Amino acid sequence: MSVFAASPGRRVPKWLARHETLLAIILVAALAGLGAFNNRFLTVDNLLNQGRLMTEIGLIALPMTFVIITGGIDLSVGAIVGLSAVMLGYSWKTFGFPLPLAIAFALAVGGLAGFVNGFVITRVKVPPLIMTIATLALYRGLAEGVSQARSVRGYPEWFYGLGQGEWLGVPTQLLLLVVLIVIAGVALDRTTFGRTLYAIGSNETAARFSALDVDRTKVVIYTLSGLASGLAAVVLVSRVTTTRMDMGMGYELDVIAAVVLGGTSIFGGAGTIWGTVIGLVMIQLLKNGLALTGVKGDATIVVIGVALIMSTLIASSLQRRRE
Amino acid sequence: MSAIPVPRLALPRAGIFRRFASQEALLALAVIGLAIAVGFVNPRFLAYRNLADILLGNAYIAIAAIGMSMVIISGNIDISVGALIGVLATVSGSLAVAGAPTLVAWIVPVVLGVLVMAAQGAVVAYLRIPAIVVTLGMMSILKGGLISVTGGKWITDLPQGFHLADLNLLGVPMPVAIMVVATALAALWMRYSASGRAIYATGGNAEAARLCGVNPQRTVVMVFALHGFFAGIATLVYATQLRVIQSTTPPGLELTVITAAVVGGVSILGGVGTVVGATLAAILIAEITSALVFVNISPYWTDSLRGGLILATVIADIVRRRRRASRGRRI
């Protein structure tokens, strides 16, 4: 929207810091509040378990932050999770792939699905929203067709280490998430690639005239989005021990809510990985806190929906006041 | 979004060839051609009972696609409509079972549909939040709210008089009659009335529309309110066909409705399209789904076909627009 709001000048870092500080304060308050209400909440076991549960959403939220910073969106992530999970189970069970190869295959399918999104978005100039709504239907449909709605189970024991094991007392996949958070954060903040994303999001035409390879950057981030969804699928299958074609349904809501709650502008041009991480943690704690106070799972998606709309409203009214 | 829009605000030229090359004519040909082709493979597909079932069972999708077309033509999107129809069906059924007069059970969901959608339209238009965020949030609010309020209970023992869809209008089953009347009225209104044209103007170029004296904000709220109205009517047709109303949202309904609108020729860049095409597309999609069974293809492939269809239409639409735009430059 505004060119000034995203230029790496003096105003932005200050504002971003404020936004994240605000979020962090709310987060601490929420932690204390939930802890006071329920003594099972603030225990190491519970918190580590929540970390395990939020990893799949978190893995996808990292590239989604990139995508939304460029002013795009990817609604097909949940469907890619389903497709990759099915491909993992199908190639292992039906093709007889050894499991490591099946895992690589599932990741490749996820990456390819994301690449197709990025390719059509940049070459044919289909708006990302429409492209990923179409592939949301297509990828979920392929998952359904290939699997014929049959589930796959009975994976070898070692495979469950990723989704259920721990290392030094920390869930394995949480360690994976932390490593990727650091990489994504550094890539966004400290590399040409990362700065290109902000340039595209604040003014795509200007970015093109500045000789930035806009199209290739976009293809890369949508491919990363698919790849992360494939990885999330592998982690998810390992955690729940079964492959089903409806895996990842509705993930797009959680992922986009985490990113937007974390202060990334839905209009593009602004956002940070650290904000996304806080948004992610807040959503998971919200789910957990509500569950512990006896609210059922279906009611929590109401809260996430409200959080998504409210955080966008507040962010955009703050932005308008500044202008 | 991206550039390009070539707002085609003038009425299309009425040459005979042009008429036949239109999206509507292509769809009508596809509907008939597919029926004949499948009929060759399996003649039972052409049985009156089967064709009637296809139309009756999917009329509500065509009706919902009318409102969705308007929303997309105005340059927006709505993915909450499936969840809304689920909620409205439950409201309608609960009222009927609780002993409310039948007319109340029919009217309340329509009014509620208008209110919910108009509210979303107002947030989109006046607070300038993208429709995708508002309707994604609303979808989860409606979906989660429905299940947590009803606990997933089914509504049974609906009173006899509730089943509007079982009635006939001049010998035509009510769902089909409503679909035809609603499509015709909406098509005429969008083509010939000032407020109908304002939808195209807003979707084609909101700033130009404003300079022509159209209020884009008010138009967007109106479009969403109408979309809610048609969602309410669609709910009536859908819910009064059922003997048992499950308190869940029909899965993937919003995608089917969006597919019908887009395949029907509504350009996803806004500004172009007709509701007649959307209705024909809804019928075509239903026909494809039914045909799969008759030619022995697993119905589990339906969704991927639907996805492929929407993708192909979108790409064709954009390529066609670009070609038209470059032809315009040469002249």
**Is-contact A41 A48, C-beta < 8 A?**
no
Residues from chain A contacting residue B130 (CB–CB below 8 Å): 266-267, 312
- DSSP letter at B258 equals H
pLDDT the model gives residue A115:
97
Q: Which chain A residues are within 8 Å of B148, Cβ to Cβ? A: 296, 298-299, 302
The model carries a pTM of 0.85
Q: Which chain A residues are within 8 Å of B141, Cβ to Cβ?
A: 301-302, 305-306
CB contact under 8 A, A305 and B132: no
Q: What percent of chain A has pLDDT over 90?
A: 45
Token pair belonging to A300? 């929590």
Confidence of residue A15 (pLDDT cuts 50, 70, 90): low
Q: How far is CA B95 from CA B102, B105, B161, in A?
A: 8, 5, 13
pLDDT at B278 over 70: yes
Query: What integer pLDDT is reported at residue A139 of this predicted model?
Result: 95
Q: Is the pLDDT of residue B268 over 90?
A: no
Is the per-residue pLDDT at B107 higher than 50?
yes
Q: Among B129, B314, B322, whose Cβ lies nearest the Cβ of A313? A: B129
One-letter amino acid for residue B39 of the chain? G
* Nearest chain B residue to A302, by CA: B141
Q: Do the beta carbons of residue B136 and residue A256 sit within 8 Å?
A: yes
pLDDT at A322: 67
Alpha helix positions (H), chain A: 3-6, 11-37, 44-69, 77-93, 99-123, 128-147, 160-164, 172-190, 192-202, 204-209, 214-240, 251-261, 273-292, 297-322
- In the 8-state DSSP scheme, what is residue A152? B
ipTM: 0.81
Top-ranked range on mean pLDDT: pick from A231-235, A280-284, B167-171: A231-235
Residue A9 pLDDT class (50, 70, 90 cuts): very low
The mean-pLDDT minimum among A1-10, A223-232, B230-239 falls in: A1-10
Minimal Cα–Cα distance from B285 to chain A, Å? 14
> What is the domain partition of chain A in residue ranges?
3-24+46-314
Rounded mean pLDDT, B68-91: 92
Residue A235 in contact with residue A162, Cβ under 8 Å?
yes
Query: Which pLDDT band holds residue B328 (cuts at 50, 70, 90)?
Result: low
pLDDT band at A141 (very low <50, low <70, confident <90, very high): very high
Task: Output the DSSP codes for A240-309.
Answer: HS-B-TTTTTTHHHHHHHHHHHTT--TTSS---HHHHHHHHHHHHHHHHHHHHTT--HHHHHHHHHHHHH
pLDDT-derived band at B158 (thresholds 50, 70, 90) equals confident
Mean pLDDT, rounded, for B310-322: 82
The answer to whether the CB atoms of A135 and B307 lie below 8 A apart is: yes
- Verify whether the Cβ–Cβ distance B303 to A131 is below 8 Å: no
What CA–CA distances, in Å, run from B87 to A12, A75, B56, B110? 43, 23, 21, 11
Residue B19 in this model has a pLDDT that exceeds 70 = no
* Residue for token pair 């048992």: B244
- Tell me what the mean pLDDT of segment B55-76 comes to: 91
Residue with structure tokens 């690449």?
A: A115
Classify B57 as helix, strand or coil. Answer: helix
Nearest alpha-carbon partner for B79 in B95, B91, B64: B64
Q: Does B140 touch chain A (CB under 8 A)?
A: yes
**Backbone torsion region of residue B152, taken as left when φ is above 0, otherwise alpha when ψ lies between -120 and 50, otherwise beta:** left
Q: What is the pLDDT of residue A18?
A: 60
CB contact under 8 A, B132 and A313: no
SS3 state at B6? coil
Given CB atoms, is B258 within the 8 Å cutoff of chain A? Answer: yes
Cα-based angle B51, B54, B58 (whole degrees, multiple of 5):
150
How many other C-beta atoms lie within 10 A of the C-beta of residue B242?
A: 16
CA of B302, closest CA in chain A: separation in Å? 7
Specify the pLDDT at position A220: 96
> Helix, strand, or coil here: B50?
helix
Model confidence at A2: pLDDT above 80: no
Q: Hey, are the CB atoms on B148 and A298 less than 8 Å from each other? A: yes
- Closest partner residue to A266 among B1, B133, B259, by Cβ? B133
Dist. CA B280–CA A249, nearest whole Å: 29
Per-residue pLDDT at B1: 42
How close A144 gets to chain B, by Cα (Å)?
6
Q: How far is B60 from chain A (nearest CA, A)?
A: 20
Interchain pair B127, A313: CB under 8 A? yes
First to last CA, chain A: 11
Q: pLDDT band at B327, cuts 50/70/90?
A: low
Alpha carbon A200 to its chain's center: 20
CB atoms B136 and A252 under 8 Å: yes
- The torsion angle over the Cα atoms of residues B76, B82, B85 and B86, rounded to 10 degrees, is -150
Q: How far is B194 from chain A (nearest CA, A)?
A: 28
| pLDDT number for residue B331 | 44
Instruction: Provide, as residue numbers in chain B, all residues whose Cβ is less than 8 Å from the Cβ of A74.
Output: none
Given a cut of 90, is residue B235 above it in pLDDT?
A: yes
Query: How many interface pairs between A and B have CB atoms less than 8 angstroms apart?
Result: 141
Mutual orientation of helices A44-69 and A214-240 as an angle, nearest 10°? 160
- Report percent pLDDT > 90 for chain B: 24
Contact between chains at A302 and B77 (C-beta distance less than 8 A): no
**What pLDDT is attached to residue A5?**
44
Interatomic CA distance for residues A24 and A285, integer angstroms: 13
Show the tokens assigned to B134. Answer: 């508002």
Residue B137 contacts A where some CB pair is shorter than 8 Å: yes
CB atoms within 10 A of CB B326: 9
pLDDT at A61 over 90: yes
Query: Cβ atoms within 10 A of the Cβ of A116, count?
Result: 20
Residues of A with CB below 8 A from B305's CB?
141
Task: Categorize the per-residue pLDDT at B329 as very low, low, confident or very high, splitting at 50, 70 and 90.
Answer: low
Facing A129 at nearest CB: one of B132, B147, B304? B132
Q: What are the structural domains, with CATH classification, of chain B? A: 16-330 (1.10.3470)
Q: How confident is the model at residue B316 (pLDDT cuts 50, 70, 90)?
A: confident
Average pLDDT, chain B: 84
- The SS3 of residue B273 is coil
Residue A286's pLDDT is: 81
Per-residue pLDDT of A278-298, as tens digits, reads 999 988 888 888 787 777 767
With a CB cutoff of 8 Å and minimum separation 6, the contacts of B320 are: none
Torsion-angle region of B299 (φ positive above 0: left; ψ -120 to 50: alpha; else: beta): alpha
Q: Give the per-residue pLDDT at A164.
A: 86
Q: Among the listed ranges A94-103, A191-200, A303-312, which one has the minimum average pLDDT value?
A: A303-312
Helix (H, G, I), strand (E, B) or coil at B169: strand
- Minimum mean pLDDT among A81-90, B13-22, B210-219, B276-285: which range? B13-22
Q: What is the mean pLDDT of residues B187-210?
A: 83
Task: Quote the CA–CA distance of B244 and B296 in Å, as a whole number.
Answer: 29
Q: Give the mean model confidence (pLDDT) for residues B191-216.
A: 82
**CATH fold for the domain made of A3-24+46-314:** ABC transporter involved in vitamin B12 uptake, BtuC (1.10.3470)
* C-alpha to C-alpha distance for B175 and B242, rounded to whole angstroms: 13
Q: What's the whole-number mean pLDDT along residues A4-9?
A: 44
What's the confidence (pLDDT) of residue A199? 93
pLDDT score of A112 more than 90:
yes
Number of CB atoms found within 10 A of residue A306's CB: 16
Could you tell me which chain B residue has the CA closest to the CA of A147?
B300
Name every chain A residue with its beta carbon within 8 A of the beta carbon of B307: 134-142
- Give dist(CA A271, CA A319) in Å, integer: 13
Asked if the C-beta of B299 comes within 8 angstroms of chain A's C-beta atoms, the answer is no
Give the chain A residue nearest B79 (alpha carbons): A133
Choose, out of B136, B256, B292, the residue to mutate when testing the contact with A (most A CBs < 10 Å).
B136
pLDDT for position B221: 94
Q: Which residues pair with B154 in a beta bridge?
A: B246
Which B-chain residues 306-325 have CB contacts (< 8 A) with chain A? 306-308, 310-311, 314-315, 318-319, 322
Nearest CB to A129; choose among B77, B139, B147: B77
Evaluate whether A50 touches A288 at the Cβ level (below 8 Å): yes
